[in-house]
Amino acid sequence: MDINYELYKVFYHVAATLSFSEASKQLYISQSAVSQSIKVLEKKLNQPLFIRSTKKVQLTPEGEILLKHIEPAMNLIKKGENQLLEAHSLNGGQLRIGASDTICRYYLVPYLNRFHKEFPGIHIKVINQTSIECTRFLDNGQADFIVTNYPNSSLAGSLNTRVINEFHDVFVASRSAFDLEGKRLSLEELLSYPIMMLDRKSTTSEFLHQIFQKSQLDLVPEIELSSNDLLIDLARIGLGIAFVPDFCIPANDKDLFILKLAEELPSRQMVVAFNENLPISQAAQHFMDML
């Protein structure tokens, strides 16, 4: 049975107020339009829904049955409308952020804490992937914005970026396993030691391989992992020399030291990126402004 939603909407307001005149005020239509809509609905259902009187109306048993189904449906529609409206405000909705585990742990946590305290009604969803893979979520509209290391070969096209931090990558080793502290090594000399680094899916891997290629050196890492924290743990027990961002290394670490290199490595940036072709919610814009 094909019945216009507007007819059920009029029925709901009349049933809720038991008054044609009050329903007309709530719906901003004339009382005669309300009466006509109810007559049309009753004809389509072939059932009387109201008992009319001069001042008030009453639901018939059939009308009461219909109200039991219409009322929760109207409430669900209203709830859905409110959620859509709140999604673009700072009172509710969802904030979707894409970032690597390392960026989340060492950079975003204080901002997430601050944002959650200011806007507890907004649900925060953090998508943890490598910086390269996070770009795909942004392209597909699955993230409002991403925080990624740069250079990033996947950042192109309609993605808008802003630098929010700058850092250096370093080689770290165990003092007890490698007698290299204070010595200055060239990239070629470094290749004689077991190098541990992130896997090929990361911007860090892209960056380091490009540096060695520019020096016409072939980098073959001993160990490739997906976690900087695990690389640091393995460096701490002497399994190799780990290549990690400097902000991951605790200050005055007793076990690890940073190797000195003959060739200074260029710095990298951390950027926030969003798709300029998609609308940005107030929550996403506010969080990005915090960074």
For the stretch 98-129, pLDDT in tens is 999 999 999 999 999 999 999 998 889 999 99
Tokens 């219909």 found at: 66
Q: Show the CA angle centred on residue 33, arms to residues 30 and 37, nearest 5°.
A: 145
CB-based contact 165:107 (threshold 8 Å):
yes
Percent of the chain's residues with pLDDT above 90:
74
How large is the angle between the packed helices 5-17 and 31-45, nearest 10 degrees? 110
Predicted confidence at residue 75, as pLDDT, reads 85
Predicted confidence at residue 121, as pLDDT, reads 87
Those residues with Cβ within 8 angstroms of residue 210's Cβ, 6 or more apart along the chain or in another chain? none
Phi, psi of 43 (to 5 degrees): -65, -40
84: pLDDT strictly greater than 80: no
**Count of CB atoms within 10 A of residue 142's CB?**
13
157: pLDDT strictly greater than 70: no
Q: Is 9 exposed, middle or buried (0-12, 13-18, 19+ CB in 10 A)?
A: middle
Percent of the chain's residues with pLDDT above 70:
96
CB-based contact 261:172 (threshold 8 Å):
no
Question: How many whole angstroms from its chain centre is CA 140?
Answer: 12
CB-based contact 98:138 (threshold 8 Å):
yes
- Record the tokens describing residue 136, joined without a space: 């795909």
275: pLDDT strictly greater than 90: no
DSSP H helical segments within the chain, as ranges?
Answer: 5-17, 20-27, 31-45, 61-86, 101-103, 109-118, 131-139, 187-190, 203-214, 228-236, 282-290
Tokens 């979707």 found at: 96
Q: What is the mean pLDDT of residues 41-55?
A: 89
* Full-model pTM: 0.71
CB-based contact 274:159 (threshold 8 Å):
yes
Query: What pLDDT band is residue 2 in, cutting at 50, 70 and 90?
Result: confident
- 68-82, 84-98, 211-225, 252-266: least confidently modelled range: 84-98
Predicted confidence at residue 86, as pLDDT, reads 64
Q: What is the mean pLDDT of the chain?
A: 91
Q: Which tops the pLDDT comparison, 136 or 272?
A: 272
186: pLDDT strictly greater than 80: yes
